Structure 1
């Protein structure tokens, strides 16, 4: 829906019930009081529409400033026609009362009055008479703060009622966003728009309309991002201009200062402005005071007020205010965590650099909060002001985060700077650029080893090494190095978070989930001892445990961590963190068979991080999206995403290479080439073994069983089960059950899979168990029903094992070759199938003929339906209903 259409009424159930009660009780009236744009008119229209549906006679009165000078102008349509030309005011009122008295019977009459504060006095008096005499129920909207006539005031002062219409709750605003936005919004855009609208649907409508008009709302990979502000919309400015014009000049100047620096400590504000003017600004209702610890701060009463004030200020005035604020703050002790960052931002906006040291400190804080764009602006200010090596290094770090690797590498000095304290941060930055930016893997490891034990920052260097070793698929070494860092008594917060990320992730990949949990607790203990808890440090500890749980097959626990991490990242307004957690949620969702949610999360992750993909995670996200589309049966979409992933192939991040190959195998399944899929899954298993991921190796081997060949992988799965237990043991049991057609073994494995959140695998295994029981003459209805229930939770998922539950397919007992030919025949002609499988065309046609006979179908169209393809495509220019011999 367009942002300009009428929106669904949400979040107003209580208000609608109150209006309904007033009408049912035939009270004289109800006055709805609220700020402009809060939704009073929409609420009144909905209430009258519902009343009309219930048989109530309803009338609408719309008051305007233009009609205010015309006596009875607003209610002229309520006056009987013969009365209008000649009646005096008293006679006119009597005539209307008689007319309404004739209408009133067993059902009430309701008059809705919009913007009642704009009524002319005669109209207000007439409506009052109708209400107090019981001839109509008056329900009026009034803008908060507007003066009212005695006639209106009496509507609630007597037996009528007054209802304050409050801003919508955040959940209702998000519902409106879902309805009105052109497509799914990323979480940070949703949060910012929700905050700025502050429960006011009109403001939200105008924000979206302005964003669409100005390009502030843009789409990337199916996800929409809001990059605009509220200051550019004339309509938004109009909503507050009247209140601004009514301000005294001194109060307005105070509000301009507050708007520039909000929330602004009162002690700081008193150094900039007159106390009496501060009081006047607060009395205006446009600024409110709030307590934060030992400080009292002033902020604008609504986010839009600040936007409108800043937009209306001349540039010279704004620069003067920001310069004044930064000078005052710089003269005070910067005790609070964000003081330097706030001062740095004010200095940027002042247009002059009087405190370059503050700009550098602010850049560090912005980087810690993962606000990369702000960090770049701040650090360039410090660098240009001559802050030396610190600014040069920090700028290289910022460029690294923006994936501008070569530029960052050129900025960083090629040799370590003098002074042992700088060696560690130089080595960490250079190693990250070499590994992720330039694919110079060995040089990266060598650089980290340049910092000797006992040197300042050695703990942070080793923590970084643990992290890099994990991503490079050296899990045993990553675990050893990370544990050593966490066991040190002098490990700092940042080193602890990085070491936990590397060590816990590696432990999970190695199948040591208990150890991973212990390492996460160690990391959290170090973080808890520090008063300054930075969100990225917390996130890295959580990520380490999330990797571990996912690799160990504990999908429920991994999903809980990912969901909490995602919520925390959104609350912190940290785009990069939101992207990482969204990506993880998508990977977990795909594994569980929740394809719609998985695709939404993965698209959001790509949209947020694609421009600044420092750690080259987008390739994995693209591959996972390919897997999602393949599981959904969308072969063209799957191929597109896989091609995008292949275009980003790099030597770094070896730990994810088998993950990419597993998704490639599913694309081959969607193509109908199970033989190729099995070969690719075996390759993924080899890659996982080489990168020290026995848990992922077990998953890859089990994919072969899912694709129809459990026997060749059974022994290796048993070896892994004996070695690491956990998910490997469950998958080994499931593969054994598939190979031996053992219903009880399969049912037990399914129970274990359900317990750890593997819904899709459990659905497949229970389906296989049901078929095994039936083949052995012991059908289990309960097992079949459980399998069907789990399969419904994975709606739209297509896998070979789920397809085997299609009536007739399992009983047909297709051979491996026949199944390969059948799956490919849905989309390919016989010649292409022959080329792909290395067969002659005659062999392909003979196999396809046997498939038709076994499945009882006559042509490829019917074959596609039996195999679960809802819309079989035409094959190579031939109609999809052609028989095998026409090929």
Structure 2
């Protein structure tokens, strides 16, 4: 192993210095376990045990793992009563008299057990049948394993067949796919037919398992999907591609997740592998693939008209092409971009134009696509035919509106001047290339309402440049006050900058008359409407709108499509429909992986982790949140990057890793410009981090203040969440009443449960808490069920059993604010219970290393007040120093979070530690 390396450089988002640990593993250090072959192993062993034939023949394409499989099976057969002989037939030994099988040896005795020629094999089998070393003993079972049995010459096969008939030898053979049971193989069937089992390539799930075990770490879904598509699940090819990625360092573990960075198509060695695969195609198959490579996606009817159904079927069987369904008709696409790139590289200009002309003729004869289809317009342009400028512009706009930004960009390349530049800019933004799109729109877009709105949204959501986004909005045309596009942009800024009240009317849906003219702004309108409903305390309404189709994920802008999916899942979770959200999240994730959109995969992976956190299972949430954090980059909408980082930090804190969690929030703090409401999202995450780290009093105080701020500004949903945290950490009738009032202003049944939970905590209502625990558990919010059950007064075996059951379903998590099952017995615990909440808060901050003046600044009180409260607390606890104070606090996670080398100011900004 080459070891780890420290990578230092400019963070792509903040310009800050980023230091992270990138793990490297050389290809030759990897161990590739046999995986995904359990079922076929059982089939082979069962067939060999039945003695109803000569044995088993395993077939499959090269590299599928036939040799690994039979070696594994032979290992399972090993025993004192079994003699296992191993060898291989090759082309080199096929015509050597007396040899026939190379490398014959007795397994387990590679040196002493080796023998040459088939005569030695016959002698060994005869000895085994007589008993070991001629001593009277039961005859040993003999299993003969031969690779590439289809390469055996007829005389050698006849000898082996005689051994099967006369000595009862059981055969375990491999052969290439398509090998027929005639010729040499027919001579092997001494006691009956061979059982033929075809070994298939690994499915996607098994490829993921193999990669995780070989690389010894998690692999993001996008990389897994790319490797599976390149190799089609062939283990040997997978091993070679992974080796190339490791050697070139494009496959690396950064932020604890293995990811392939950049396009795999740029590596000559990969092209050689792909070229070797494509070289096995027939001439008609290669020519047919050129049509698909040129178009990217081709109507199936047109493809079959050009290539013929048999050719299309063979290509599909080999997995080179795939069929997809769309609103119009079935389409054919290349299974992987590498195949397409390799084919495109070999098509010259003249042949390219000829292929496009053939496509145009086929489209005219089949009627798909029609003359006005953007694809047909592009084919005419690429064929060198005359196309009116207005038709090319209209086709590019139609392609963008229909959700094909790549086709829109290709068409815009043929449109000269500002119109083409503006179309290209929009197409680039739709592909997640925010910076490239902004440059084109800034230079050529003018000051139309649609351009101003799109640039403003892109500058903020795509590029994290809120000041420029606001400046762009300031230069909007005076006569555009009623523009739906500008109203969408206003809302986009208002939701996260606080510059405009979010109680303003929401923009109309894109489908309404007078909606946004820009298709991308229309996508944003759909997403922002969902955000606004959710933020304003209407998550149930948002979820219902998604159910009815009033809200739906956009088709044109992948980043917005992912954001809409996140809104949908979050609305379901906040509406109390977590069990419905879980399978939908998996569906969204699978779809985004299939589309190979990194920003969309990052967002949907984050929602998988988000749901697991709401289940109360941070251990399960860690992997998808880590994947989301690894994939999130400049193409991911900026607010979503913040949400991803915050949830990941809280998950780390819940798992007892407060130092790492604090570093995550520190990095996020540096990314968020001043004045954005996202700072408050960070503050809420800090509250949760403090709570999981044991600083309960301080977390409760911050939650109280933040809840007031959110509710005062009518951001009801997060206000309810903060108020709920406050009452859980510091139950009181006043806190419960505020939560009840806030929940009543929202439409979520889950928030009603929150209010009931707060009231039961403040009054110590045991029956109500037990009922809430059951209801939370029934809805899937097991962590909240654990909290409700844990707060039931008293102890006893029944309560302990119930808590153990719920904690087990939460992967063992017991939050620090969960009361102990049994009453405190130690004197220190008794003394702790005598502290007031304010005294407890002071003690937690002092134990974390803050000076009295720093505590005063954080809590907004005088230094004298801090000194007096700490003095009273010291007296109650019987301590004299901060060191003794830290030891007296049972929840010492806060102190652990500030170990040497990790500043206290990370959790408490603006403070300094004291010895």
Q: Could you tell me the TM-score, scaled by structure 2's length?
A: 0.76
1:194-233: CA deviations, max 9, x gaps? 2332232222222212211223324443333324437847
- The residue aligned with 2:356 is 326
- Aligned pairs for 1:547-558 (under 5 A) are 547-558=570-581
- Aligned pairs for 1:333-348 (under 5 A) are 335-336=368-369
Q: Match for 2:442 among 384, 405, 410?
A: 410
1:55–1:112 Cα change, 3 Å = same
1:147–1:491 Cα change, 3 Å = same
Q: Match for 1:46 among 72, 93, 100?
A: 72
- Asked if the contact 2:800–2:821 (Cα under 8 Å) also holds between the matched residues in 1, the reply is no
Q: Match for 2:413 among 372, 378, 381?
A: 381
Q: Match for 1:74 among 101, 110, 128?
A: 101
> Quick check: 1:152 aligned with 2:185?
yes
- The residue aligned with 2:707 is 685
- The residue aligned with 1:638 is 661
In 2, Cα distance between the equivalents of 1:806 and 1:351? 83
> Quick check: 1:666 aligned with 2:696?
no
- Aligned pairs for 1:703-722 (under 5 A) are 703-708=725-730, 710-722=732-744
- Aligned pairs for 1:422-821 (under 5 A) are 423=449, 425-433=450-458, 435-436=460-461, 437-439=465-467, 440-441=469-470, 444=473, 447=476, 451=480, 470-471=495-496, 480-482=505-507, 499-524=525-550, 542-650=565-673, 654=677, 656-669=678-691, 672-708=694-730, 710-724=732-746, 726-769=749-792, 772=793, 774=794, 779=795, 781-795=797-811, 797=813, 799-802=815-818, 804-805=820-821, 808=824, 813-815=833-835, 816=837, 819-820=840-841
- Asked if the contact 2:143–2:172 (Cα under 8 Å) also holds between the matched residues in 1, the reply is yes
In 1, Cα distance between the equivalents of 2:399 and 2:212? 31
- Asked if the contact 2:569–2:584 (Cα under 8 Å) also holds between the matched residues in 1, the reply is yes
1:677-718: CA deviations, max 9, x gaps? 233213321342244222321221222223335355233223
In 1, Cα distance between the equivalents of 2:717 and 2:569? 14
In the TM superposition, residue 641 of structure 1 has moved relative to its aligned partner by: 0.8
- The residue aligned with 2:13 is none
Count of equivalent residues: 844
> Quick check: 1:395 aligned with 2:429?
no
Provide the secondary structure at the position in 2 that maps to 1:610. coil
1:798–1:514 Cα change, 3 Å = closer
Q: Could you tell me the TM-score, scaled by structure 1's length?
A: 0.78
In the TM superposition, residue 536 of structure 1 has moved relative to its aligned partner by: 8.0
- Asked if the contact 2:33–2:214 (Cα under 8 Å) also holds between the matched residues in 1, the reply is no
1:570–1:248 Cα change, 3 Å = closer
- Asked if the contact 1:681–1:704 (Cα under 8 Å) also holds between the matched residues in 2, the reply is yes
> Quick check: 1:101 aligned with 2:141?
no
In the TM superposition, residue 110 of structure 1 has moved relative to its aligned partner by: 0.6
Provide the secondary structure at the position in 2 that maps to 1:225. strand
1:787–1:320 Cα change, 3 Å = farther
* Further displaced range: 751-760 or 868-877: 868-877
1:822-844: CA deviations, max 9, x gaps? 65677649989978885889985
- The residue aligned with 2:911 is none
1:82–1:410 Cα change, 3 Å = closer
In the TM superposition, residue 627 of structure 1 has moved relative to its aligned partner by: 1.8
In 2, Cα distance between the equivalents of 1:141 and 1:164? 10
1:289-348: CA deviations, max 9, x gaps? 989899998888xx68x957964x795645554443334335645845999787899999
Provide the secondary structure at the position in 2 that maps to 1:43. helix
1:803-838: CA deviations, max 9, x gaps? 645874876525236644665677649989978885
- The residue aligned with 1:172 is 206
1:859–1:355 Cα change, 3 Å = farther
Q: Match for 2:159 among 120, 126, 134?
A: 126
In the TM superposition, residue 764 of structure 1 has moved relative to its aligned partner by: 1.6
- Asked if the contact 1:428–1:461 (Cα under 8 Å) also holds between the matched residues in 2, the reply is yes
In 1, Cα distance between the equivalents of 2:573 and 2:317? 55
- Asked if the contact 1:485–1:491 (Cα under 8 Å) also holds between the matched residues in 2, the reply is yes
- The residue aligned with 1:211 is 245
Give 5+ residue unaligned stretches, structure 1.
Answer: 417-422, 878-885
- Asked if the contact 2:299–2:329 (Cα under 8 Å) also holds between the matched residues in 1, the reply is yes
Give 5+ residue unaligned stretches, structure 2.
Answer: 1-24, 133-137, 902-913
- Aligned pairs for 1:822-841 (under 5 A) are 823=844, 828=849
In 1, Cα distance between the equivalents of 2:299 and 2:730? 68
In the TM superposition, residue 660 of structure 1 has moved relative to its aligned partner by: 2.1
In 1, Cα distance between the equivalents of 2:312 and 2:704? 74
In 1, Cα distance between the equivalents of 2:331 and 2:741? 64
In 2, Cα distance between the equivalents of 1:782 and 1:554? 29
* Further displaced range: 469-478 or 623-632: 469-478
In the TM superposition, residue 741 of structure 1 has moved relative to its aligned partner by: 2.6
* Further displaced range: 584-593 or 144-153: 144-153
In 1, Cα distance between the equivalents of 2:165 and 2:246? 48
Q: Match for 2:86 among 54, 60, 76?
A: 60
- Asked if the contact 1:579–1:605 (Cα under 8 Å) also holds between the matched residues in 2, the reply is yes
In 2, Cα distance between the equivalents of 1:16 and 1:447? 69
Provide the secondary structure at the position in 2 that maps to 1:113. strand
1:163–1:154 Cα change, 3 Å = farther
1:226-248: CA deviations, max 9, x gaps? 24437847588469849937x77
1:796–1:292 Cα change, 3 Å = closer
- The residue aligned with 2:22 is none
1:640-666: CA deviations, max 9, x gaps? 111111112236863x55432111113
Provide the secondary structure at the position in 2 that maps to 1:501. helix
